[in-house]
Amino acid sequence: MSDQYTPKKEDHFTFGLWTVGNRGRDPFGDAVRGAISPTQIVKRLSELGAYGVNLHDNDLVPFEANETERTKIVSEFKKALSEHGMKVPMATVNLFYHPIFKDGAFTSSDARVRAFAIQKTMKAMDLGVELGAEIFVLWGGREGTEVDAAKDAIEALKWYREGVNYLTEYALDQKYNLKFALEAKPNEPRSDIYLPTTGHMLAFIETLDHPEIVGVNPEVAHEHMSGLNFYHSISQAIDAGKLFHIDLNDQKPGRYDQDLRFASESIKPMFYLVKLLEESGYAGPRHFDAHAYRSEDEEGVFAFALGCMRSYNILKEKAHQFAEDKEIQSLLKEIRAEGGHDEYQLGTYSKASASKLKSAAFDTQHLAEIGRNYERLDQLVFELLLGVRGNTASTAAKQTTLAARA
Ligand code: GLT
Ligand code: MN
Ligand code: MN
């Protein structure tokens, strides 16, 4: 079946090899499906309309592989990429799976582990650049603690900073066209992870030696685990010029990191997210960091992948409808006009404007009593999302509106 929501290369959808490659292992049960080879993932995703794949060093080259094995694996993978017209826009490094990282990588108490983590990351950067990646994600899943008595958190942050500084210097020294994107998560696998939210990451970036090449890679599930509004987090990252990459998925509140199919749970929040990405001019890949339910076999995995991309395109179409819906737009205009008189715009501070403002009279009772009409607006969005308002601006305009009925 092909329709207007069918993914196309120009939609720039990407998946981590680890996402469709997820075999359904969890802390209570073993794998439920077989491994899919990286080249097979490239082929199947390309057939579905994806633009590319992303990878950790060890998703492609096993931890124990020697140089000869590495060369063979990488050249076969490159061949598959070119055969299927697929790109690798982002690469990352696995600093969480091997037992050596049980107490962290960049923030391990052991200087030898910290040095090994930097060595492993430099090699992963080399691999990423060789495959054409321009974004390098750092997710510090093990950078945290269970026992705060064991580690001074300020010192841990210094080690973290020292690590990222070293890596940015390496990228610049190699003349790599590579930007870093730091990914936050509040907990899991550690009891507490340092720099737990995108906001923390944004503040940390400003303390680095090369903040200009470091941004963020926020993940829906991770911000939702912290009870945060992802749309707000992304807005702040965009405002700071730091949205270098994004991990799209979904998450029910108050649970472990579920990495659910994109928009499978949070339809309204994901609508605002897609609308924001599309309208803000975000030009990076639309990357899915999610995996299929444990109940699925290999076909279910690719149904999941297609679902992520279709849902994005459906929400994108909804964002267009929102922009064209006459009733929604005129209501928004009304709402803004009610509060937006020019004479009250703050503008730049001056002594004269401050003294004028201090003596201005406000009808506080009237201002407090005005209804803002958000109930109507929110219901219109709900009806739009559920398809009650039709698919085009003209049919939408003809609809019997909530306002007319009231
Ligand atoms: C891991 C994690 C993700 C990160 C990946 C990048 S690996 O699957 O759960 O959120 O984005 O390291
Ligand atoms: Mn992620
Ligand atoms: Mn996750």
* C-alpha–C-alpha distance, residues 381 and 33, integer Å: 40
What residues pair up with 144 in beta bridges, in sequence order? 193
* Cβ atoms of residues 205 and 213 within 8 Å: no
Mutation test residue for ligand 1: of 14, 17, 18, 138, the one with most atoms within 8 Å of CB? 18
Atom of ligand 1 at shortest range from CA of 259: 9
Closest ligand to residue 96's CA? 1
**Who lines ligand 1 at CB under 6 A?**
18, 56, 92, 137, 139, 183, 219, 247, 289
CATH number at residue 305: 3.20.20.150
Closest ligand to residue 251's CA? 3
Task: Tell whether 254 is covered by a domain.
Answer: yes
369 and 301 together in one domain: no
Atom of ligand 1 at shortest range from CA of 257: 9
Nearest to 96 by CA among 131, 134, 129, 140: 140
* C-alpha–C-alpha distance, residues 160 and 293, integer Å: 34
Q: How far is CA 195 from the centre of its chain?
A: 16
Q: How far is the CA of 139 from the centre of ligand 1 (A)?
A: 6
- Kindly calculate the radius of gyration of the chain based on its CA atoms and give it in whole angstroms: 24
* Cβ atoms of residues 3 and 317 within 8 Å: no
Give pLDDT, residue 181.
99
358 and 385 together in one domain: yes
* C-alpha–C-alpha distance, residues 223 and 310, integer Å: 23
Mutation test residue for ligand 1: of 53, 59, 139, the one with most atoms within 8 Å of CB? 139
44 and 77 together in one domain: yes
Task: Give the predicted TM-score (pTM) of the model.
Answer: 0.94
Task: Tell whether 3 is covered by a domain.
Answer: no
Q: Which residues surround ligand 2, an ion (CB under 5 A)?
A: 219, 247, 289
Residue at a domain's end among 292, 323, 354: 323
Atom 5 of ligand 1: nearest residue by CA position: 139
Domain span holding position 361:
325-405
Task: Tell whether 166 is covered by a domain.
Answer: yes
User: CA of 125: how far to CAs of 100, 105, 307, in Å?
Assistant: 20, 16, 31
Q: Catalytic: which of 3, 26, 30, 56?
A: 56
Atom of ligand 1 at shortest range from CA of 219: 10
* Cβ atoms of residues 70 and 27 within 8 Å: no
Please count the structural domains in the chain: 2
228 and 369 together in one domain: no
Q: What angle do CA 77, 82, 87 make, to 5 degrees?
A: 80
318 and 334 together in one domain: no
Q: How far is the CA of 334 from the centre of ligand 3 (A)?
A: 40
Task: Tell whether 400 is covered by a domain.
Answer: yes
Q: Is 59 a catalytic residue?
A: yes
- What six digits make up the tokens of 72? 């063979």
298 and 352 together in one domain: no
Residue 75 DSSP one-character state? H
Closest ligand to residue 221's CA? 3
255 and 312 together in one domain: yes
Task: Tell whether 116 is covered by a domain.
Answer: yes
Which residue, chain included where needed, has tokens 């969480």? 96
Task: Tell whether 2 is covered by a domain.
Answer: no
Give pLDDT, residue 405.
43
Q: How far is the CA of 183 from the centre of ligand 2 (A)?
A: 7
329 and 316 together in one domain: no
Query: First CA to last CA across the chain, in angstroms?
Result: 41
Q: Could you give the 3-state DSSP secondary structure of residue 286? A: strand
How many residues in the chain?
A: 406
Q: How far is the CA of 15 from the centre of ligand 3 (A)?
A: 13
Residue at a domain's end among 323, 340, 364: 323
Atom 6 of ligand 1: nearest residue by CA position: 139
36 and 137 together in one domain: yes
Q: Could you give the 3-state DSSP secondary structure of residue 123? A: helix
Handedness of CA 274, 276, 280, 282 (dihedral sign): negative
For 270-308, give one letter per residue: b (16+ CB within 10 A) or e.
Answer: bbbbbbbbbeeebebbbbbbbbbeeebeeeebbebbbbb
* C-alpha–C-alpha distance, residues 209 and 205, integer Å: 9
Q: Catalytic: which of 57, 59, 247, 325?
A: 59
* C-alpha–C-alpha distance, residues 321 and 315, integer Å: 10
* C-alpha–C-alpha distance, residues 24 and 223, integer Å: 23
DSSP run (H or E) holding 405: helix 402-405
Q: Enumerate the H helices of 174-229 as residue ranges.
A: 198-205, 220-225
For 145, phi then psi, to 5°, come to: -145, 160
Which residue, chain included where needed, has tokens 């049960």? 29
Give pLDDT, residue 74.
98
284 and 355 together in one domain: no
* C-alpha–C-alpha distance, residues 174 and 176, integer Å: 5
Q: How far is the CA of 109 from the centre of ligand 3 (A)?
A: 25
Residue at a domain's end among 323, 340, 358: 323
Reading phi first (left if > 0) and then psi (alpha if -120 to 50, else beta), residue 55 is in: beta
Task: Tell whether 1 is covered by a domain.
Answer: no
**Which is it for strands 192-193 and 247-248: parallel, antiparallel or unpaired?**
unpaired
Mutation test residue for ligand 1: of 183, 190, 198, the one with most atoms within 8 Å of CB? 183
Atom of ligand 1 at shortest range from CA of 93: 12
97 and 158 together in one domain: yes
Task: Tell whether 136 is covered by a domain.
Answer: yes
Query: What tens-digit pLDDT sequence spans the chain (406 residues)?
Result: 799 999 999 999 999 999 999 999 999 999 999 999 999 999 999 999 999 999 999 999 999 999 999 999 999 999 999 999 999 999 999 999 999 999 999 999 999 999 999 999 999 999 999 999 999 999 999 999 999 999 999 999 999 999 999 999 999 999 999 999 999 999 999 999 999 999 999 999 999 999 999 999 999 999 999 999 999 999 999 999 999 999 999 999 999 999 999 999 999 999 999 999 999 999 999 999 999 999 999 999 999 999 999 999 999 999 999 999 999 999 999 988 876 667 788 889 999 999 999 999 999 999 999 999 999 999 999 999 999 986 554 444 444 444 444 4
Q: How far is the CA of 342 from the centre of ligand 2 (A)?
A: 43
Which residue, chain included where needed, has tokens 């309309």? 49
Atom of ligand 1 at shortest range from CA of 217: 11
Q: How far is the CA of 396 from the centre of ligand 2 (A)?
A: 37
Give pLDDT, residue 402.
42
Atom 4 of ligand 1: nearest residue by CA position: 139
Burial classification of residue 235, based on how many CB atoms lie within 10 Å of its CB (0-12 exposed, 13-18 middle, 19 or more buried):
middle
Q: Is 210 a catalytic residue?
A: no
- What six digits make up the tokens of 169? 């210097």
Half-sphere exposure of 52 (CA within 13 A, CB side): 19
225 and 355 together in one domain: no
* Cβ atoms of residues 69 and 61 within 8 Å: yes
Mutation test residue for ligand 1: of 201, 244, 289, 291, the one with most atoms within 8 Å of CB? 289
* C-alpha–C-alpha distance, residues 380 and 229, integer Å: 21
- What six digits make up the tokens of 365? 């009772």
Q: How far is the CA of 223 from the centre of ligand 1 (A)?
A: 13
